[in-house]
Amino acid sequence: MAEQAPVLTIDGPGGAGKGTISSLMAQTLGWHLLDSGALYRLTAHAAAKHQVALDDEPALAKLAEQLDVAFPVEHGAPMTLLEGEDVGRAIRTETAGERASQVAALPAVRSALLQRQRDFRQAPGLVADGRDMGTVVFRDAPVKIFLTASAEERARRRHLQLQEAGVDASLSSLLEEIQARDARDTQREVAPLKPADDAITLDTTRLSIPEVVDWMTELLTKKGIASGV
Residue 4 per-residue DSSP state: G
82 strand-pairing partners: 69, 85
Binding residues: 12-20
**Chain centroid to CA 103: how far?**
14
CB 201 within 8 A of CB 148: yes
- What dihedral angle (degrees, nearest 10) is formed by the CA atoms of 132, 137, 139, 140? -140
Distance from C-alpha of 71 to C-alpha of 181, rounded to nearest angstrom: 26
What is the identity of the amino acid at 82?
A: L
Distance from C-alpha of 109 to C-alpha of 88, rounded to nearest angstrom: 21
Binding residues for ATP: 12-20
Classified as helix, coil or strand, 127 is strand
What Cα–Cα distance (Å) separates residue 89 from each residue in 42, 96, 135, 162, 177? Answer: 11, 10, 29, 12, 19
